[in-house]
Amino acid sequence: MRPIIRQATPQDAENVIGILREAAQWLEQSGMAMWREDELLPARIAADVEAGLFFLAESEGLAAGVVKFQLEDSLFWPHVPRSQSAFVHRLAVKRRFAGGGISSALLDWAVERARTLGREFLHPDCEASRPRLRAVYEKFGFRHHSDRQVGPYFVSRWSLALCNPDSDPNRNRNRNLILRKEILLVGAQRKFYILGNECYPQS
């Protein structure tokens, strides 16, 4: 069963903080320390939740994962036109739900939300030394955009061109690049199709 994705409310701040801290602890124990302590301060995360930036994935009635969705990101993506892109950060899944498709569901949701808001690209990024997360993005269909030093982090930046499912069906298709996604957004199922850096409907 696909998880339900919803915007986190101030009452969910504790769950958001808990998921992020669990992920940070697991990464540190795995020798891949991520996020400085001051980045996970409860007041800082709660402020982002209050601003409507965090979204929760719920599975089996429990908070299973989180993602931070932004329409501006001058820190990691200073040269990207603001009106064209959406950005995702803080993608994290509780260990008990690892391998259950929660991260893919959150990315699916982010793609659909960005499209709904009229954005042309979705950009995640991650520490360049995190091969597992890089693999998640590559498998999903993101293409490596560039690497950039941002403060203490050397990050790999990724990009996905979004599509309009009503675009011309007669345009050439590269079926090897088709990524078919089915999204469950608060109980409403929608389909859309992405072809690499181009957008076409699937026949």
15 within a domain of the structure (yes/no): yes
60 within a domain of the structure (yes/no): yes
Q: What is the pLDDT of residue 34?
A: 67
pLDDT per residue over 62-104, tens digit each? 999 999 999 999 999 998 887 899 999 999 999 999 888 999 9
pLDDT per residue over 129-183, tens digit each? 888 888 889 999 999 999 999 888 899 999 999 965 443 333 333 323 333 333 3
Mean pLDDT of the chain: 80
155 within a domain of the structure (yes/no): yes
**Three-state DSSP class for 96?**
helix
159 within a domain of the structure (yes/no): yes
201 within a domain of the structure (yes/no): no
Whether residue 5 has pLDDT greater than 50: yes
Determine the Cα–Cα distance for residues 24 and 35; give it in Å rounded to an integer. 7
Within 8 A by CB and 6+ apart from 27, the residues are 33, 34, 130
202 within a domain of the structure (yes/no): no
Of residues 36 and 155, which shows the higher confidence score?
155
Whether residue 19 has pLDDT greater than 90: yes
Domain range for residue 54? 4-195
Q: What is the pLDDT of residue 153?
A: 84
Mean per-residue pLDDT, 45-73: 95
Mean per-residue pLDDT, 102-128: 94
Query: pTM higher than 0.75 for the full model?
Result: yes
Within 8 A by CB and 6+ apart from 111, the residues are 122, 160, 162, 181, 183, 192, 194
Of residues 128 and 123, which shows the higher confidence score?
123
**Three-state DSSP class for 187?**
coil
Based on the structure, what is the number of domains in the chain?
A: 1
Determine the Cα–Cα distance for residues 167 and 197; give it in Å rounded to an integer. 14
Q: What is the pLDDT of residue 187?
A: 34
The CATH number that applies at residue 138 is: 3.40.630.30
Pick the closest to residue 57 from 111, 122, 104, 123 (CA basis): 104
Pick the closest to residue 32 from 97, 114, 150, 127 (CA basis): 127
200 within a domain of the structure (yes/no): no
